[in-house]
C-alpha cells in the first residue's frame, strides 16, 4: 500500500464499503492500530518509520462531493488541539501522502510550542487527482467544502488553516462547512494575509542572531534573499527601514523582481532572475542569507558555499536533513535560526482568531518584541545559548526545547484531543 498511488487507498476503502479510515495510536497499549485490515501494511511500515514520531492519529476521508482523498495528521496534543494548515498537493504514492502529513504535523507542533501557543501539532493534506482542472472554482469549492465536512466529522481534534496550494477563497469554502478552522477570510471575520507579519518575524530572528554574535543591528548589513515573493516583498521594506546597506535577491520570475524594484526606486537592491536549481544566491558574500523560497535548500551542496554568518529565512523545512545539515551549518560557522522558530507569525496571526482580531493586537505584537520569553528574539537567544552550552546545533536545540514545551499540558483542556480521538474510535466514526 505504501508504494501504491493514493487512488489505491481510496479503492481499498471503497472495497471495504467505507468512506473513512484511520490509523490511531492506542493510548493504553501505545500501539498503532488501523481501522481497516487493508491498511495493516501501513501500520507495519509506520511503526518503524522515523516520521511517525508517536502521532496520536491519522484520519482519511473520501470527499463526498469531490471524490478527493482528504487527510489529517494529529501529532501530540497535550498543549491543545492539533493545529496547522491544509496542503493541496500531488502525491505519487500513499507513502508520500501520509509522510508529508506526519512530517509537517510534527513541525507544526514544534512551531506552536516554541511560539507559546496552546495548540498541538497537526497538518491536513489533500491529494490532487490527475485529469481534474484544479483551477476551476467549482471543482475547488467541492474539494474544500468536503474538507470542511471532514473537519466537522473530526469534531475539533484537528483545527485546519491555510497552507501551500490552498487559497483564501478555499478557506471560505472550508468555513461553509465547519467551525474547526482558522485563517478564514477577513470578509467573514478572519485575520487576513499574514505575510507582512511573517516577514517581520524573520527580521526579528535576524536581529536576534546578529545580537548573539555581537554584530550589532541590521543597519549597514548586507542580505541575500532567495525568492522574492509575498514574504520577501514585505521583508525588503522592513530591512530598508532598518537601513541595511544592500539586499541581493534572486527569483525564478522576472515579474516579481520588476514589481519590487518599482516599489523602491533608488534603493540598494540587486535582483536577478535565476533557474530553479540555481542556488548561487546562497553563496553571496553577505552578512545574512535568507532562504525565502522553498524547503531543503540548506543541504550538503549549498552549505559549504555559504559565506554569511547568519542563515535566517521564511521557508519551511530549510534543512534537507535536520541533524546532518544543522550540524554542518554549525561546523561551517553559520548561525542558523531554525525556520519553525522564526517563521511562526502565520499561525500566530490566525491562532486566536476565534477571540476576535484587531490591528496592533498586543498578543500578536508580543512575538516581535525583545522581552517576552515566548517572543522570537528571546526564544532564539535561548536556543543559541543552549547550543553553545551543549555543542549541539541550533536546529537540534530548538527541537529539544520544543519537545519540552510540547509536554506542557493545556491549562484548561489537557488531553481534550485524545478524548475526542477516543470518542471517534468508540463511536465508529469510520463507519458513518
Ligand atoms: P511565495 O510563493 O509568494 O514566494 C516564493 C517565491 O520564491 C516566488 O516568487 C517564487 O518564484 C520564488 N522561487 C521559487 N523557487 C525558487 C528558486 N529556486 N530560486 C529563487 N526563487 C524561487 O511564498 P511566500 O508566501 O513568500 O513564502 C515564502 C516561503 O515562506 C514559502 O516556503 C512558505 O511556505 C514559507 N512561509 C510563508 C509564510 C507566509 O506567511 N506567507 C509563513 C510561514 C512560512
pLDDT tens digits, the chain, 432 residues: what are they?
999 999 999 999 999 999 999 999 999 999 999 999 999 999 999 988 888 878 999 999 999 999 999 999 999 999 999 999 999 999 999 999 999 999 999 999 999 999 999 999 999 999 999 999 999 999 999 999 999 999 999 999 999 999 989 999 999 999 999 999 999 998 988 987 888 999 999 999 999 999 999 999 999 999 999 999 999 999 999 999 999 999 999 999 999 999 999 999 999 999 999 999 999 999 999 999 999 999 899 999 999 999 999 999 999 989 999 999 999 999 999 999 999 999 999 999 998 898 888 888 999 999 999 999 999 999 999 999 999 999 999 999 999 999 999 999 999 998 899 999 999 999 999 998
88-to-71, 98, 123 alpha-carbon distances in Å: 10, 13, 11
β-pair type (120-127, 246-251): unpaired
Question: Which pairs from 31-34 meet CB under 8 Å and 24+ separation?
Answer: none
Output phi, psi for 146, to 5 deg: -60, -40
pLDDT digits over 264-300, tens only? 999 999 999 999 999 999 999 999 999 999 989 999 9
> Ligand 1 centre from 223 Cα, in Å?
17
Instruction: State the pTM of this model.
Output: 0.94
- Ligand 1 nearest atom to the CA of residue 229, by list position: 4
Atom 32, ligand 1: residue with shortest CA distance: 315
Instruction: Tell me how far the alpha carbon of residue 294 lies from the centroid of ligand 1, in angstroms.
Output: 6
CA of 226 relative to ligand 1 center, distance in Å: 9
Whole-number Cα distances in Å, 220 to 203, 232, 303 = 14, 19, 24
Q: Give distance in angstroms: CA of 163 to centre of ligand 1.
A: 12
pLDDT of residue 194: 87
Q: How far apart are CA 175 and CA 187, in angstroms?
A: 12
Closest atom of ligand 1 to 344 CA is 43
Torsion-angle region of residue 110: left (phi > 0), alpha (psi -120 to 50) or beta?
alpha
pLDDT of residue 48: 85
User: Which residue has its alpha carbon closest to ligand 1 atom 4?
Assistant: 229
Closest CA to ligand 1's atom 42? 346
The alpha carbon of 316 and the centre of ligand 1 are apart by a number of angstroms equal to 9
Q: What's the rounded Cα separation, in Å, for the pair 90 and 296? A: 18
Q: Is 309 exposed, middle or buried (0-12, 13-18, 19+ CB in 10 A)?
A: middle
Are the C-beta atoms of 159 and 119 separated by less than 8 Å?
yes
Q: Which residues are catalytic?
A: 123
Q: Which three cell numbers stand for residue 157?
A: 481534534
Ligand 1 is surrounded, with C-beta below 6 A, by 164, 194-195, 198, 226-232, 250-253, 256, 274, 276, 292-294, 314-316, 343, 346
Ligand 1, residue 256: give the atom nearest the CA: 9
Amino acid at each position: 500500500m505504501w508504494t501504491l498511488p493514493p487512488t489505491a487507498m481510496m479503492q481499498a476503502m471503497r472495497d471495504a464499503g467505507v468512506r473513512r479510515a484511520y490509523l490511531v495510536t492506542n493510548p493504553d497499549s501505545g500501539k498503532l492500530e488501523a481501522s481497516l485490515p487493508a491498511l495493516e501494511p501501513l501500520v507495519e511500515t509506520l511503526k518503524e518509520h522515523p516520521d511517525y514520531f508517536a502521532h496520536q492519529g491519522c484520519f482519511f476521508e473520501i470527499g463526498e462531493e469531490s471524490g478527493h482523498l482528504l487527510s489529517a495528521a494529529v501529532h501530540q496534543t497535550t498543549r491543545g488541539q492539533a493545529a496547522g494548515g491544509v496542503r493541496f498537493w500531488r502525491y505519487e504514492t500513499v507513502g508520500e501522502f501520509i509522510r508529508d502529513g506526519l512530517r509537517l504535523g510534527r513541525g507544526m507542533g514544534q512551531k506552536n510550542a516554541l511560539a507559546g501557543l496552546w495548540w498541538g501539532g497537526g497538518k491536513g493534506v489533500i491529494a490532487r487527482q490527475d485529469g481534474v482542472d484544479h483551477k476551476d472554482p467549482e471543482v475547488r469549492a467541492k474539494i474544500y467544502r468536503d474538507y470542511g465536512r471532514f473537519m466537522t466529522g473530526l469534531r475539533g481534534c484537528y483545527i485546519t488553516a491555510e497552507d501551500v496550494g490552498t487559497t483564501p477563497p478555499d478557506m471560505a469554502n472550508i468555513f461553509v462547512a465547519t467551525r474547526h478552522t482558522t485563517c478564514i477570510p477577513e470578509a467573514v471575520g478572519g485575520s487576513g494575509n499574514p505575510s507582512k507579519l511573517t516577514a517581520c518575524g524573520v527580521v526579528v530572528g535576524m536581529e536576534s542572531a546578529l545580537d548573539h554574535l555581537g554584530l550589532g543591528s541590521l543597519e549597514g548589513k548586507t542580505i541575500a534573499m532567495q525568492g522574492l515573493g509575498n514574504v520577501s516583498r514585505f521583508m525588503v521594506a522592513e530591512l530598508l527601514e532598518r537601513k541595511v546597506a544592500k539586499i541581493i535577491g534572486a527569483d525564478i520570475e522576472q515579474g516579481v523582481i520588476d514589481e519590487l524594484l518599482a516599489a523602491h526606486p533608488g534603493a540598494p537592491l540587486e535582483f536577478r532572475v535565476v533557474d530553479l536549481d540555481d542556488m548561487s544566491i546562497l553563496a553571496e558574500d553577505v552578512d545574512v542569507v535568507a532562504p525565502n523560497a522553498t524547503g531543503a535548500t540548506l543541504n550538503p551542496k549549498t552549505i559549504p558555499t555559504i559565506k554569511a554568518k547568519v542563515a535566517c529565512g521564511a521557508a519551511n523545512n530549510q534543512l534537507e536533513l535536520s541533524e546532518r545539515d544543522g550540524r554542518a551549518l554549525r561546523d561551517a560557522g553559520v548561525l542558523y535560526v531554525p525556520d519553525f522558530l522564526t517563521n511562526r507569525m502565520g499561525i500566530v496571526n490566525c491562532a486566536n482568531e476565534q477571540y476576535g482580531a484587531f490591528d496592533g493586537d498586543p498578543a500578536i505584537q508580543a512575538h516581535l518584541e525583545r522581552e517576552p520569553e515566548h517572543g522570537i528574539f528571546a526564544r532564539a537567544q535561548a536556543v543559541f545559548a543552549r547550543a553553545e552550552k551543549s555543542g549541539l546545533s541550533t536546529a537540534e536545540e530548538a527541537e529539544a526545547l520544543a519537545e519540552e514545551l510540547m509536554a506542557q499540558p493545556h491549562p484548561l483542556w489537557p488531553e481534550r484531543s485524545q478524548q475526542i480521538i477516543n470518542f471517534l474510535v468508540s463511536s465508529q466514526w469510520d463507519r458513518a
